Amino acid sequence: MTRYLGENSLSLVSCNKERALIGLALMAFLWAFASVLFSMIGTWWSVSDYSHGFFVVPIAAYLAWSRRDSFPKELTPAPIIGMAILLVSLAISYFGTLTYIRPLEQYPIVSAIFALLLIGGGWQLIGWAWPMVAFLLFMIPLPHSLASHLATPLQQIGAVGSTYLLQTIGVPAFVEGTSITLENAVLNVAFACSGLQMIISFGAVCTAIAMISNYPLPGKLAIGLSSIPVAIGCNILRITLIAWAERFHLVPPKELHDAGGIFIVPVTIGMVLLGIFLFEKCFPPRRRPTT
């Protein structure tokens, strides 16, 4: 009887230590990243290109709920490895804060979340939760240097594609670099019209759809990557409509630009859903024969 009570006491002490360690790690995470999170929320609110960040966490939570049946039954916490990763993440974020390097300040949030999962549930919990945690990368704004590097070719693609469509429908136009010259105006495909943020936003949507689907990995990759050509095509259509309306003075430029941005969202979503529908028709899910 005494031995039984002693084993229970040791187990209770061990459990309390694990809870205390998890609480300490969570407090360190909140203390270190609270200002970073508030800064990102401010970016989502003030910069329309990153407004999709508000939906990333709810979508990640829904993905976790949809995978609840596969939650591991046994967990083996890895506190030492988890604390080491957490400390490294905190150090990198602090260095980013001191040097005003936003990516170094923001991206360690994801690795710190992985560290918390290791401390609380070990590699079994990581194996279950990593898709949802990786999805959180969509909430972090791209580094400005990387965004500028990616936007330049997209601006050129948008200008060339739009000019081709304008010429096809009989509107005189020619392209030089990222500028579209019409009869009465010159339109410049600026950074905001490159379509890069559209790729990121709809990439998040398609990735979430792919993760929920029951397709094997090739099918999930096809659905996720479909956001790139769809977003580029819709951005070309948007620029073409703006240039066409500008050519005939149908709408003032500012209202035209804003309306084009709003109009293209349901069009892009419709194209994504159409692509998934066609994908399902071409590659129907395999059903196991009933026995």
**Cα–Cα distance measured from residue 87 to residue 121, given in angstroms and rounded to the nearest whole number:** 18
The candidate with the shortest Cα–Cα distance to 158, out of 203, 201, 197, 188, is 188
CA angle centred on 215, ends 125 and 142, rounded to 5°: 65
Q: Which of 109, 139, 169 is the last residue of a domain?
A: 139
Is pLDDT of 280 > 80? no
Q: Helix (H) and strand (E) counts for the chain?
A: 10, 3
SS3 176: strand
The domain of 127 spans 19-43+50-139
- Tell me, what's the pLDDT at 204? 83
Residue 246 lies in a domain: yes
**Cα–Cα distance measured from residue 207 to residue 211, given in angstroms and rounded to the nearest whole number:** 6
Residue 287 lies in a domain: no
- Tell me, what's the pLDDT at 221? 85
* Higher pLDDT among residues 262 and 211, named by residue: 211
**pTM of the predicted structure, to 2 decimals:** 0.76
| Domains identified in the chain, total number | 2
- Tell me, what's the pLDDT at 15? 59
Domain match, 193 and 276 both:
yes
Domain match, 152 and 64 both:
no
| Structure tokens that stand for 211 in this block | 């993760």
Say if CB 75 and CB 121 are below 8 A apart.
yes
Query: What single-letter amino acid sits at 280?
Result: E
Phi, psi of 287 (to 5 degrees): -110, 135
Q: Which of 87, 119, 139 is the last residue of a domain?
A: 139
Q: Which of 116, 139, 162 is the last residue of a domain?
A: 139
Domain match, 162 and 269 both:
yes
